[in-house]
Chain A
């Protein structure tokens, strides 16, 4: 197992955001989290990446507890978090953004990985000296994915990667995630677009009011009438 999260509890100002969420991400697998707005999906990712600290519960990455680590140490441990809304450094160039993605890397393969990102998204290579803030939403999402890849993570987490994109761009981003999956990357993704998430995911969790209410293989969840009624309309 790449990631095991057990019974995470967290509350903000008396409101329970996570009420005992547990989930596992197998090596090389893609796990999707679906649920309504405010169900606690993003909170799970933030708890994993160390932006938020769960009040109780345990998170282990390849057996090693990481729930007590600050965010920068979680990245060093091998979890990259591609946050909601992309959160690029708008004032910096494409190349600087990628370098920041590989900030902790001291090895010699940074340049090679950067070339790999440019292969994956040629548009980034063409505009590598332009400021990230000038890019379209889809291009920004590409850069955000590329930036996360630069850390060579053991686990890659996406929070709403298709939010606010055009249908063509959504296709393009989902294809990229599928490609990464086929290359063996372990992925945990949060997606409001439940159909897309469950199509891609080997395994899915439904989160509601801070709890995991259902879980199972993506195709099983897709077939479940309750999921269809609640999330696929």
Chain B
């Protein structure tokens, strides 16, 4: 303290940077993962037959046959030697190890390789470097197109592999659940590594620059799915169910993600579309029925949206919940004879166009392909709506409302109109999806539209990343594939789901694909 008059020297400091961790620090972890991959995993022959055909645990039978998850571990262990990749690779290896340890423990078999791999993965996460991903320059068009085609082809392969990982059901593969989860762990590691090197953001920037081209290729890739391993009637059905929920989730993403209006009764619009189409199924053709479903749902969306003029935030969430419950109760009690009540509405005919039933095989393609193609178009359509709205005047108004409604109003945004429009668009899309839903399933009952479905859709939006275009698709795929894959855990499905909601909010509240 000087008592005389002094002018303090301005104090500025460069932000302190921790020493980057040397690359060799990932070596011990990587070595452990590699060691784990090459060790025997099970202490005995597993009851119930050989562990998945592709992933041999029978080290003693075929010690040098490294396939399946052991191959994945080998790859991750090698990748972990790359300086930036070690954390993501470690996370992937740890997930794979945990899945198999748990699975083997449940069978009463000791695991040798598991703990070693888990330790290696933990070491990699712990010692790995955490630094921002590098940014890459975008290539010229001549190079960009082949790169995009290759990337989407890889994506197609990944989707097909993910879908078919673990096989169809418990009947064909008793270890399907574990195999699928293990594969998911590998995918997590792989995507983590790509994102650590900035490849994912580079690719998405590239796709953004060549938007029209990317969308065309993406659509083409989606249509090529039947030619992959996933090209059976079963997987087509699964994929189209996922597609319907994904389209619905994208609609919800408009309401929640863009406009920030939390809707806890959204599945009601899917239901309204489905019941409308079901009632008209024998009267009019599918396009008319679908249109009717969309219009009726949209109108009811306006009704549900009307309170937004007066109600906000949490209270609005409760209003939508109340609307959802009213719909559910009404449907349960067969209101006006429109919903069939507890008997549901059976016998809805499949969509037919030009004499071709959508449930029949066409050409050399598997049965269910037409529904799959229809839902791909539906998803693409809703994504296009979302993407266009996001960058439109209306979209900006929604984003302003999401950030601060009062400020938005002060800036001249007509908030009431914009909010009702959000509900209208979201409900219309859900209604359209509902019409497809009704025809594809052939029967519609009220129990498909209960509160937990609304929560699942919401979770899909949040898991994927609110307001992002691919987010809801990613989220819906995960949330609706998982129960399909983990049937042996069906009793625990909702429990794990609740737990997942809590954990996502805790560790990744912005979702997997953050905007």
Contact = CB atoms under 8 A, between A and B. Distances in A.
Give yes or no for direct A-B contact (beta carbon below 8 Å).
yes
Interface in A166-189: none
Nearest to B16: A56
A24 B1 contact: yes
A221 B92 CA distance: 63
A213 interface: yes
Contacts of A215: 6, 8
Nearest to A56: B13
B121 to A, nearest CB: 33
A14 to B, nearest CB: 13
A22 B11 contact: yes
Contacts of A203: 1
Contacts of A99: none
B11 A211 contact: yes
A214 B8 contact: yes
Interface of B: 1, 3-8, 10-13
A84 to B, nearest CB: 22
A7 interface: yes
Nearest to B10: A211
In this complex, the member of B1, B3, B10, B11 whose beta carbon has the largest number of chain A beta carbons within 10 angstroms is B11
* 6 residue pairs, one from A and one from B, having the closest CB atoms: A20-B11, A216-B5, A212-B8, A220-B5, A211-B10, A7-B11
Contact of A213 (B1, B7, B12): B7
Nearest to A223: B5
A85 interface: no
A217 interface: yes
Contacts of B4: 216
Contacts of A216: 3-6
A126 interface: no
A217 B8 contact: no
A31 B3 CA distance: 13
A224 B7 CA distance: 12
Contacts of B13: 7, 9, 20, 56
A19 interface: yes
25 contacts: A7-B11, A7-B13, A9-B13, A19-B10, A19-B12, A20-B10, A20-B11, A20-B12, A20-B13, A22-B11, A24-B1, A26-B1, A56-B13, A203-B1, A211-B8, A213-B7, A213-B8, A214-B8, A215-B6, A215-B8, A216-B3, A216-B6, A220-B5, A221-B5, A224-B5
A217 B3 contact: yes
Name A's interface SS: strand
Contacts of A26: 1
Nearest to B11: A20
Nearest to A217: B3
Interface in A83-141: none
Interface in A192-233: 203, 211-217, 220-221, 224
Interface string A1-36: 000000101000000000110101010000000000
Interface residues of A, number: 19
B10 to A, nearest CB: 5
B5 A214 contact: yes
A26 B3 CA distance: 12
A216 B13 CA distance: 24
Given A19-B11, A213-B10, 8 more contacts: A19-B12, A20-B11, A22-B11, A203-B1, A211-B8, A211-B11, A217-B3, A220-B5
A211 B8 CA distance: 9
A102 to B, nearest CB: 33
B9 to A, nearest CB: 9
Nearest to B4: A216
A70 B310 CA distance: 38
In this complex, the member of B3, B5, B12, B13 whose beta carbon has the largest number of chain A beta carbons within 10 angstroms is B5
Nearest to B12: A20
A213 B5 CA distance: 11
Contacts of A221: 5
A178 B320 CA distance: 58
Contacts of B1: 24, 26, 203
Contacts of A211: 8, 10-11
Contacts of B11: 7, 19-20, 22, 211
B7 A214 contact: yes
Contact of A22 (B5, B8, B12): B8
A7 B12 CA distance: 9
Contacts of A212: 8
A225 to B, nearest CB: 11
Nearest to B7: A214
B15 to A, nearest CB: 9
A19 B3 CA distance: 23
A9 B12 CA distance: 9
Contacts of B8: 22, 211-215
A216 B8 CA distance: 10
A97 B24 CA distance: 61
Nearest to B1: A24
B11 to A, nearest CB: 3
A205 to B, nearest CB: 9
A24 B10 CA distance: 16
A193 to B, nearest CB: 21
Nearest to A19: B12
A86 to B, nearest CB: 24
Nearest to A57: B11
Interface in A43-84: 56
Contacts of A217: 3
B7 to A, nearest CB: 6
A20 B11 CA distance: 5
Contacts of A24: 1
A216 B4 CA distance: 6
B203 to A, nearest CB: 27
A41 to B, nearest CB: 16
A192 to B, nearest CB: 21
A213 B115 CA distance: 60
Contacts of A22: 8, 11
Nearest to A4: B1
In this complex, the member of B3, B4, B7, B8 whose beta carbon has the largest number of chain A beta carbons within 10 angstroms is B8
Nearest to A221: B5
A36 B41 CA distance: 69
Nearest to A227: B5
A213 B111 CA distance: 66
Contacts of A213: 7-8, 10
Contacts of A7: 11, 13
Contacts of A9: 13
A212 B5 CA distance: 13
